[in-house]
């Protein structure tokens, strides 16, 4: 019996040796399948179905909406007339409040994008270390991002209530009455409060993407840096940060697009108030315009938002991918 086993082992060694020699002498026999799949060109009509659906349900309605922005479309008349750039003049008029609304939208986008990325990166760095209950900590941070915005709005309207809210009640209970504020009622604090709640909700999602980017970096770089005597900060600045720039570019673009079209969080918490457009953003203004039957002005605002999103998105992609490091 042992002789049979030894004979079988010898035959296996011989077969493996022959296979290795064949791979060295004729590597195309081993790589041929991968190269064939890689270089294969599929027919263009494979994409026609998806393109037709995109054109009919996304591109065409957007194009029609831009066309309506040059008319006097409203709920008060059955007739439709071409008015040129009149609706856009209304949007950019000093007599209207739309420039304040556009400024609010850009401010919301800038601040939430920066803070979500910074806080998300810090959390991602902390939660890629070897700590106890690692997955539980990640789940706790990520959990708000899967909750309904309406539920979050109802919860935080209760927490930030100036009279009976949990936050002000806590401050009063420890003798810090001066910190009890009218968080969603004061015109000075309402916009910041909305941004804070939105950052709390979205930072977990950004953290998850950044964790995936950090874990994709090979440990060989860190081992080589440790041999050269590099500390934690140098490892981050010269290894981690350059190699996660593509991931940061992705999260930045996602945050910018979300911020420019934000609606639900603002509407759930303040409905655009208090006062005259204190926390009003473009899509809450569009919603109100359609609610009052001013469809043409609403579509003009949407068209302006579309142009801003394209310009900002292309600029951010160009800036963020300019100095990417390919691993």
Same domain assignment for residues 252 and 169: yes
Same domain assignment for residues 27 and 142: no
Same domain assignment for residues 226 and 157: yes
* Residue 277 counted as domain residue: yes
DSSP 8-state class, residue 323 = T
Q: Are 321 and 249 in contact (CB under 8 A)?
A: yes
Quickly list DSSP for 115-184.
Answer: HHHHHHHHHHHHTTS--TTHHHHHHHHHGGGGS-HHHHHHHHHHHT-TTT-HHHHHHHHTT-GGG---TT
Residue 310: domain span = 94-320
The two tokens of residue 156 are: 């935080």
Report residue 92 CA to chain centroid gap.
28
Same domain assignment for residues 101 and 34: no
Report the CATH number that the domain containing residue 268 is assigned in CATH.
1.10.3720.10
The two tokens of residue 227 are: 């041999």
Determine the Cα–Cα distance for residues 289 and 171; give it in Å rounded to an integer.
Answer: 40
Number of domains the chain is built from = 2
Q: % helix / strand / coil in the chain, to the nearest 5?
A: 70, 0, 25
* Residue 81 counted as domain residue: no
Please list, in sequence order, all residues whose beta carbon lies within 8 angstroms of the beta carbon of residue 291, skipping any fewer than 6 positions away. none
Same domain assignment for residues 186 and 120: yes
Same domain assignment for residues 34 and 113: no
* Residue 32 counted as domain residue: yes
Same domain assignment for residues 222 and 124: yes
* Residue 214 counted as domain residue: yes
Strand partners, 235: none
* Residue 269 counted as domain residue: yes
Q: Are 289 and 301 in contact (CB under 8 A)?
A: yes
pLDDT, residue 210, reads: 95
Same domain assignment for residues 98 and 240: yes
Q: Share the mean pLDDT of the chain.
A: 83
* Residue 8 counted as domain residue: yes
Quickly list DSSP for 258-307.
Answer: HHHT--HHHHHHTTT-STTTSS--HHHHHHHHHHTT-HHHHHHHHHHHHH
* Residue 61 counted as domain residue: no
> What pLDDT tens digit does each residue of the chain (327 aa) get?
444 544 444 554 554 455 444 444 444 444 444 554 556 677 888 889 999 999 999 889 888 988 999 999 998 888 889 999 999 998 888 777 888 888 899 999 999 999 999 999 999 999 998 888 888 999 999 999 999 988 998 999 999 988 888 999 999 999 888 889 989 888 888 899 999 999 999 999 999 999 999 999 998 999 999 998 888 899 999 999 999 988 998 899 899 989 988 888 888 888 777 766 567 888 888 888 888 898 999 899 888 888 888 888 788 777 766 655 555
Could you give the 3-state DSSP secondary structure of residue 74? coil
């Amino acid at each position: 019996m042992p002789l049979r086993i030894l004979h079988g082992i010898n035959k296996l060694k011989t077969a493996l040796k022959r296979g290795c020699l064949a791979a060295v002498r004729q590597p195309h026999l081993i790589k041929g399948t991968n190269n064939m799949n890689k270089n294969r060109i599929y027919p263009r009509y494979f994409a026609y179905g998806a393109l037709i659906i995109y054109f009919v349900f996304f591109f065409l309605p957007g194009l029609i909406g831009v066309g309506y922005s040059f008319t006097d479309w409203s709920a008060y008349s059955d007739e439709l007339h071409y008015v040129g750039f009149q609706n856009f003049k209304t949007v950019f008029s000093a007599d209207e409040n739309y420039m304040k609304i556009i400024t609010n939208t850009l401010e919301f986008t800038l601040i939430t994008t920066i803070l979500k990325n910074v806080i998300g990166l810090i959390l991602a760095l902390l939660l890629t270390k070897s700590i106890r209950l690692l997955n539980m900590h990640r789940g706790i941070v990520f959990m708000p991002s899967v909750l309904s915005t309406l539920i979050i709005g109802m919860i935080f309207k209760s927490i930030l209530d100036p009279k009976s809210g949990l936050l002000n009640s806590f401050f009063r209970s420890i003798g810090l009455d001066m910190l009890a504020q009218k968080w969603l009622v004061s015109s000075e604090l309402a916009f910041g409060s909305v941004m804070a709640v939105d950052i709390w909700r979205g930072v977990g999602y950004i953290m998850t993407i950044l964790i995936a980017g950090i874990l994709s970096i090979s440990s060989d770089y860190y081992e080589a840096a440790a041999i050269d005597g590099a500390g934690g900060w140098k490892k981050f600045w010269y290894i981690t940060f350059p190699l996660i720039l593509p991931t940061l570019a992705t999260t930045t673009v996602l945050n910018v697009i979300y911020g420019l079209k934000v609606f639900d969080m603002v509407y759930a918490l303040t409905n655009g108030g208090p006062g005259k457009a204190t926390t009003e953003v473009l899509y809450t203004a569009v919603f109100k315009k359609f609610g009052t039957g001013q469809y043409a002005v609403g579509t003009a605002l949407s068209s302006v938002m579309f142009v801003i999103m394209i310009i900002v998105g292309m600029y951010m992609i160009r800036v963020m991918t300019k100095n990417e490091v390919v691993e």
